[in-house]
Amino acid sequence: MKIVNAPTYLSSDAGPLFGVYTYPEDGLVRGAVLVCPPLGKELNHTWRGFKRLAEFLAAQRLLVLRIDYTGTGESAGSQEDPSAVDLWDDSITTAFDHLVRMGAGPICVIAHRSGALLAPSNERVQQGAQSLVLWDPIQRGRHFIRTQQMLYAVLAEGQDAPTPGSEELVHLAGLTLHRDAARAFSRKTLDPAAVLGQRQGNVLALIPDDERDSSLAQTITAAGGTVTGLSDQAPFIQATEALLIDFPEELEHIQQWVSRHMPTQRRRVEPVPVTEAVVATTPDGRAIQTRVRTTRDGIVVWDTALAGTHGTADRVLIPHPIGHDIRSGPARLYLELANDVAARGGRTVRFDRRGVGESGTTSTDDTFVKLFTRSYIRDGNRILDELNLSRIHVIAHLGICAGNWMSAHAAIETAHRQSARSRTVAVIANVNRWDVWPNVPLPFLHGSNSAAARLELQRQRVVFRGIRDLTDVSGRIRSIRLRAALARLRVFQMPETMIAHVQRAGADVRLILAPNDYRQFTRLGGPRALARLGISIPVADLAYGDHSGYHMPTRELLKANALRALGLHDNTSREIAGPESA
């Protein structure tokens, strides 16, 4: 059975909601499933897993709709809206009503983590959902806010400097809330009665063992529902290893349970995806439009510019996410930057690489990301084929952490393809690898559970331990020729190596470094080596921030440098206002 994944926008009062339909190609379904995802950093890390679940469910002849709430992911709106919690509830209502109008049959709602604190209290879900799945539910909003604040602090390299208006904001890992929204979410608790609603026994809760005696578990069990334990969820929701994407065993369990609770009768549905939407406006009211499309080889692309200028904007930004991260970037950095670039007359093209996020049908092969390989370079450069480079005056490639290795390669490739009249810039941030030579991966590397993957992971760890242990040795080497020769061994990291390669190809470089990254750059002898080679580039270092780009100071500096690289300034964008303030 062929499965279709179709990105779409749904109309809502607060602005377009992004979602993805997943369904059998012939349109014959036994019911529908609405997925309510988690918030913040966990949304990025779990995206591929939920696509995997959606494809499992579609194979059981179910129509699945995955959504981003207003102000999260790819949906319109500001994450800092004081009424964010109400808007998230409205997003669930909009998506649920949309499925009802499609006439797909009974609706099951699957809610994960913080999404499980939102969905059961939604009026439509309480009254209309035939079944409900709570996966690792957050039962108290206050607990979520506090733990995510702590995670934000752990990611930091020094405290954030106070900025105007910062007292109004609460920073979480991957999400910045207005303090009113944080307080509203903190007051939320998971009500067992709301979980049951009209469903009684049609509830599945997957909860940690230490919560099996909670009132939630007891209420569900007493009503004839199902309560089961969880495997280790950390690899799925935290994704601390950039090379790995986790498909937890719960995916199969949920798919089987949902399928059993759906009727056998089939109905035909014909989803009609809406593939472009006005996601923001400029201060003078011009529409900023995002178009989403899927290339012939399955790469999903988000293309943002002023409405009507996608083919004529001559300054283009291409962000390159970290290994397993998705196109919206840390804390929506790349989406917000796309709106800022568009407001100034530019264009941003974001994408998920094959096997990551929304691109391509899921496979267990996806679970091991082949970072720093020739195939990784080919996939990253594939986005250039979607552009008419002859029309572009300036193109900038932005990458953080492992993403900057790809942005360097993309800048090199772009400079080779571009005419002499055009300019290419690599915006390189928080480098974890200062060379350009790809790895040769082990053969038979199929998914994270394969023997080759385990060996490759250990090899990568040994290399990075070597880099760490030889940092000071690398910094003491002064001979430029010896530094260039040793750089090919990878364990000797020489910053001038990457920068010189990019410049020799004809591209410019802008360097952005968080506190620890700048210290590493200095210990490796980077400033001295660049000076001896006569290389002069803009280097922006932070007194505050983090390596991965989740902290506000890091995000703001990255935005400013991307705009400078494109030669854009002045106008700023604003998010679409709701009906009362429009």
**pLDDT single digits (tens) 84-141:** 999 999 999 999 999 999 999 999 999 999 999 999 999 999 999 999 999 999 999 9
379, 483: one domain: yes
> What is the residue-averaged pLDDT of the chain?
91
430 within domain boundaries: yes
Of 266, 282, 308, which residue sits at a domain end? Answer: 266
- pLDDT score recorded for residue 168: 93
Of 229, 249, 266, which residue sits at a domain end? Answer: 266
- SS3 at position 91: helix
Question: Is there a contact between 525 and 474 (Cβ–Cβ < 8 Å)?
Answer: yes
Structural tokens at position 520: 């590493």
Number of domains the chain contains: 2
* Residue 419 in this model has a pLDDT that exceeds 90: no
343, 458: one domain: yes
Adjacent-strand bridge partners of 426: 397, 509
Range of 67-71, 219-223, 420-424, 463-467 with top mean pLDDT: 67-71
Residue with the bigger pLDDT between 55 and 379: it is 55
107, 155: one domain: yes
362, 257: one domain: no
Ramachandran bin of 224, using left for φ above 0, alpha for ψ from -120 to 50, beta for the remaining angles: left
* Residue 361 in this model has a pLDDT that exceeds 80: yes
pLDDT digits (tens, 9 = 90+) for 519-578: 999 999 999 999 999 999 999 988 888 999 999 989 999 999 999 999 997 544 444 433
233, 304: one domain: no
390 within domain boundaries: yes
448, 337: one domain: yes
250, 299: one domain: no
DSSP 393: S
pLDDT digits (tens, 9 = 90+) for 10-50: 999 999 999 999 999 999 999 999 999 999 999 999 999 99
582 within domain boundaries: no
272 within domain boundaries: no
* Residue 579 in this model has a pLDDT that exceeds 60: no
274 within domain boundaries: no
Segment 287-301 shows an average pLDDT of 96
- pLDDT score recorded for residue 411: 97
In the sheet that holds 315-320, the strands lie side by side as 539-541, 508-513, 423-429, 394-400, 315-320, 347-351, 300-306, 287-294, 276-281, 574-575
258, 310: one domain: no
437, 301: one domain: yes
* Residue 454 in this model has a pLDDT that exceeds 80: no
CA angle 394, 400, 404 (to 5 degrees): 60
Closest to 27 measured CA to CA, from 292, 272, 275, 296: 272
Amino acid at site 395: I
The domain in which residue 338 lies consists of 295-575
536, 411: one domain: yes
280 within domain boundaries: no
* Residue 161 in this model has a pLDDT that exceeds 90: no
Q: How many whole angstroms separate alpha carbon 523 and alpha carbon 248?
A: 40
- pLDDT score recorded for residue 371: 84
288 within domain boundaries: no
Of 245, 266, 287, which residue sits at a domain end? Answer: 266
271 within domain boundaries: no
478, 338: one domain: yes
What's the CATH code of the domain at 184? 3.40.50.1820
Around Cβ 8, how many Cβ atoms within 10 Å?
20
pTM: 0.94
Q: If you write DSSP's letter for every residue of 157-224 in order, what string do you get? A: SSPPPP-TTGGGEEEETTEEEEHHHHHHHHT-B--HHHHHTTTTT-EEEE--GGGTTSHHHHHHHHTT
Max Cα-Cα span within the chain: 75
- Kindly indicate the confidence band of residue 322, based on its pLDDT and cuts at 50, 70 and 90: confident
348, 224: one domain: no
